[in-house]
Structures are given as structure tokens and as C-alpha cells.
Amino acid sequence: METNIAAAVDCPDPQQVSPYIIILPVAIPLGIFLLVLILLNLVLLPSRRKLGGKEFDDELLKHAVITGGSSGIGLSIAKELVNRRCSYVTILARNEQKLEEAKIMLEEFGTSIGSATKIAYISVDVSDAEKIKDVAKKLCEGQCPNVTMLFNVAGTSSSAAFVDTDYKEFDRLMDINYLGTAYTTRAFLPYMKSSNKAPRAVIITSSQAGQLGVFGYTAYSASKFALRGFAEALHMEVARDNISVQIAFPPDTDTPGFELEQTDKPEETRLISETSGLFKPDR
């Protein structure tokens, strides 16, 4: 006995199916998604001040603070800010003698190009939460304008096979690379917010090893990977205040810290690092 399958399951005639039955399952979630975006834009993310190129630069180039500003990438950033006529540049680092030398160099460079940038320095360990809080208060409650750009550059590195890494090295790298950045940003951020939503910027320096784990960098990579999570979460919190959070992942760079690291770098780590080349801090 033959069975009429179409009749048994009572399939609807395709020509009689309403197009709304097909469209609605897609349209409803899409409508909800667009509504949420509108609410985020109108309620959670108040409108930012939108500025043109020069006006935007003028707002940001008022007072830049750079950790690790006495040498390497930090000093190169300070020099570029002098070149761009930033009103105030404050460099932070631990070694006072290097800070003084950097200040003289930056002032001489400024004079040579006709830049009136005022240079200041403060000796501080960024991994000391109380001291960096005091520095932020001193700078931002003094005569200098509030900080408009914060460059977190201070950091250090070391390499060794995991089982050869001293227990204290995990603490040291996390203290300087991650906590130093978090403490500094926490100290300055309240002073960077403005009632008129003027643009501000927080820049965080990670590393290529903060994107990809590398042999010999079990301690170092972990401290730099942490910065990405920190930057992404912070960005979501401060977007409503018109504060941008950016993170950089520089490769091996020719700095004093890089030279020091070479003394005991495992051969495997050295070979891997060399594949990306060695970059200059001012490029």
C-alpha cells in the first residue's frame, strides 16, 4: 500500500508560506540588538566632544606624563612630544641622574627647534602604589595643567627556562610591568577626566611577547599578556569620559634594558627573537 508522504505530514504549500515567517526570526533579534546599541550610545555613552585635527591636537598636547622616560622608548616619546610642541612633558623613572641627563637633552633639543615645551622629571618607582599616588597628586594639584596624555612605558624583562626561573622573578616582573602600569594609571586617571569631556589618552606598552608566548618568557609574557586584558577592560570603562586607551606591542627594541637582557638569555629565546629583527626606539 502506497502512502502519500506529503499528505501524512501535512506539509504546507511553499507558495502559501508567508514571507514574514522567514523574516521575523531574523528581524526581531536584529531589532533588539539595534535598540541596545542606541541605548548604549544615548545613555551609557554620552556624546563626546568631536574636534577637528588641530583642535584635537591642541587639547591633547597640554601635559604628557611618561613613565620610563629617562631612556629608550620613553625618552624617544618625550622627544617627539617636544617636537610637536607639547606644553608640558614630565618624565618619570627611578634613576635621578638619568632623569637629569634626559631633561637636559630634551631642553637642548627643544631650543634647537624653537619648541617652548617645559620639561620636568620626578624620580619614582611605579610599582610603589603610595609613591606614585603622591606624584600624581603633586603634579595635578600643583601649577601644571592636568595630565592630558599618560604614556605607560616603564617595564623590564628577563628570560629563562620556566624551571630555572627564580620564584621572586615572577613577582618582580608582574610588579613592574603590570602593577606599575595599573598603579600609575589608577593614580592619574581621576585627574584626567574633565567635565566638558575633553579628549584624553592613556597609552600602555606591552610587547610582542604579550601577544604570543615565547620560549624563555614564562614570567615576562605573563606580565605583558596581563596588560592587554587591563587595557580592554579599562577602555570600556572610560569611553564615556572621552578617554581613549591604546596598547602597543613593540618587538625587540635597542634599549638599555634589551642590552642587559642579552647577558643570560637562553639560546632558544635568542634565536626566536632574532626572527623579528631589532628596532630603534625612535622608529
Active site members:
206, 220, 224
| Cβ burial 100-132 (10 Å sphere, 16+ → b, else e) | eebbebbeebbeeeebebebbbbbbbbbbbebb
Q: CB atoms < 10 A from the CB of 82, how many?
A: 24
**In angstroms, rounded to a whole number, what is the distance separating the alpha carbons of residues 120 and 100?**
9
Task: List the grid coordinates of 42.
Answer: 544615548
C-alpha cell at 244: 581613549
Q: Is the dihedral of CA 247, 156, 262, 169 positive or negative?
A: negative
CA dist 5 and 129 (Å) reads: 76
The residue assigned the cell 627647534 is 113
Maximum Cα interatomic distance, the chain, rounded to a whole number of Å: 102
150 vs 89: CA distance, rounded Å: 10
Contact 208, 276 (CB under 8 A): yes
Report CA Rg, the chain: 26
